[in-house]
Structure 1
Amino acid sequence: MEQGRAMLLKVEQVEKSYQSGAARVAVLRGIDLALAAGETVALTGESGSGKSTCLHLCAGLDRADAGRIAVAGQDLSGASDATLARLRRDTVGLVFQQFNLIPSLTVAANLAFQARLSGRHDADWAARLADRLGLSALLDRYPEQLSGGQQQRVAIGRTLAARPALILADEPTGNLDEATGDSVLDLMLELVAETGAGLLMVTHSTRLAARLNRQVHLRGGRLA
């Protein structure tokens, strides 16, 4: 972390396990991770290594068994569900493999949804995002009328439209062709540079991971 940059994410000795039949399976075994404002970090690892679990914990969607996670200075371990919901609304932008678009809303309304919730809707910024993501001609359509790749772009645009301080992205370009994926990552990196946000991105692509400031690898429940 560069001196003078605010700490957006601090993960300290976090452990997480799940019940599988009669056994308790350890997924994360005391991981440490730090992410500063304006920094981009790629989280890599084999399938099933716990990358998505790590993101869910950082987003407050699940709770660690042990250790501490702080997002923008907020300790998640003792936070109420309402506090965690506000944090996701106002501070954290999530891009997961499930699109989670609202089927009754048009593309335009889906793009604006998170920004309106957080009180940061900017019509000009939303229009720029739609153009950059190749969605301008689809704004009146509904999610069921879109391809998987188009839905993925809407989900990414919805997150970026709210200008979150911390972006947590799980394979955000996994449903996109290489050229479109590169363009989307360009946009995410531009937003980080423009706003001073932080980006933690899970990816299997060594090519995409190399474009971020730093790479950490999850193996055997520990970060290398």
Structure 2
Amino acid sequence: MKCDATMDDAAQTERSGDTAGQARASVLRVIGLKKSYLTPQGRVAVLRGVDLSLEAGASVALMGESGSGKSTLLHLVAGLDDAEDGEIFVDGAEVTGLSDFGRAALRRETLAVVFQQFNLISSLTIRANVAFQARLAGRFDPVWQEELIHRLGLGNLLDRYPEQLSGGQQQRAAIGRALAVRPRLLLADEPTGNLDEATADDFMELALDVVAATGCAFLMVTHSARLAARLERQVRLSAGVIEKP
């Protein structure tokens, strides 16, 4: 699907409720997830049985105090760490049962992560960094890449390398890389922490356009109540579990 006017039209249709009432397939299911860490003071339980689900087209803000386990939960969902107990299903695949190779394939083809630390490849230009995951997954679309570059304000930075960019500019490139693949599940760990308010709003608008047009699920860790309110649902992680509404 070309994501210029077509994407805008699809997003408008979704947001206007034309697809209301249609069943939405489950993209993420987290069941009874537990995780603890060994410290000099003893073992500390971070997740004590987390249950969470996202359907196609859903956008959810994950909130909570610093140290409550929000980033840990995202890393487990992305297959970057191992849970002690519980199950994680991403687009039908049981992440907890996948090999390292299988998890890498999942991150390449099915989900995308916007990390706090950017994780750009220092030897690649910004243009190549934005296209990197989409090319690996065989989903590179030059029209969509150019729209991302325009929407994220990266046009004059494409031939530079990550070390030549500010933190906010690197974050925009990392966001573009994640969106370029059009993932089934988009995970974002404080994606606007290094952005000014206007650029943060632009990211939110773009991410929600992608969610509406492609039907991906979007889970974002944030401390911003203002940005969280723009998503379909807000959940809070406290004492190792998702609080009941």
TM over 0.5: yes
- 1:3 CA drift (Å): 5.5
Aligned residue number for residue 130 of structure 2: 111
SS state of the match for residue 63, structure 2? strand
- Which deviates further from its counterpart, 205-214 or 18-27? 18-27
Q: Deviations over 1:10-33 (max 9, x none)?
A: 001111001002511000000100
| Pair 1:149 & 2:155 matched | no
2:126 aligned partner, one-letter code:
V
- Give the TM-score of the pair, scaled to structure 2: 0.90
Aligned residue number for residue 90 of structure 2: 71
Aligned residue number for residue 155 of structure 2: 136
- 1:60 CA drift (Å): 0.6
- Give the TM-score of the pair, scaled to structure 1: 0.98
How many residues align? The count is 224
The correspondence of residues 6-85 of structure 1 with structure 2, limited to 5 A, is 6-21=25-40, 23-85=42-104
- Where structure 1 has 5 or more consecutive residues not aligned to the other structure, the ranges are none
Q: Deviations over 1:126-178 (max 9, x none)?
A: 01100000001111111111111000000000000111110010000110011
- Which deviates further from its counterpart, 73-82 or 207-216? 73-82
- 1:79 CA drift (Å): 1.1
Aligned residue number for residue 4 of structure 1: 23
- 1:85 CA drift (Å): 0.6
SS state of the match for residue 184, structure 1? helix
Aligned residue number for residue 4 of structure 2: none
**Alpha-carbon distance between aligned partners in 2 of 1:77 and 1:126, rounded to the nearest angstrom:** 32
Aligned residue number for residue 226 of structure 2: 207
SS state of the match for residue 96, structure 2? coil
Q: Deviations over 1:44-65 (max 9, x none)?
A: 0000000000000100111110
**Alpha-carbon distance between aligned partners in 2 of 1:77 and 1:157, rounded to the nearest angstrom:** 28
**Alpha-carbon distance between aligned partners in 1 of 2:196 and 2:106, rounded to the nearest angstrom:** 32
- Residue 113 of structure 2, aligned match among 79, 90, 94: 94
**Alpha-carbon distance between aligned partners in 1 of 2:53 and 2:166, rounded to the nearest angstrom:** 36
Aligned residue number for residue 217 of structure 1: 236
Aligned residue number for residue 14 of structure 2: none
SS state of the match for residue 77, structure 1? helix
Q: Deviations over 1:71-129 (max 9, x none)?
A: 11111122111111100000001001011111111111011001000000011110110
**Alpha-carbon distance between aligned partners in 2 of 1:16 and 1:176, rounded to the nearest angstrom:** 31
- Residue 189 of structure 1, aligned match among 191, 208, 211: 208
**Alpha-carbon distance between aligned partners in 2 of 1:206 and 1:109, rounded to the nearest angstrom:** 34
Aligned residue number for residue 177 of structure 1: 196
1:40 aligned partner, one-letter code:
S
1:166 aligned partner, one-letter code:
L
2:139 aligned partner, one-letter code:
R
Aligned residue number for residue 161 of structure 1: 180
Task: State, as a whole percentage, how many aligned pairs show the same letter.
Answer: 64
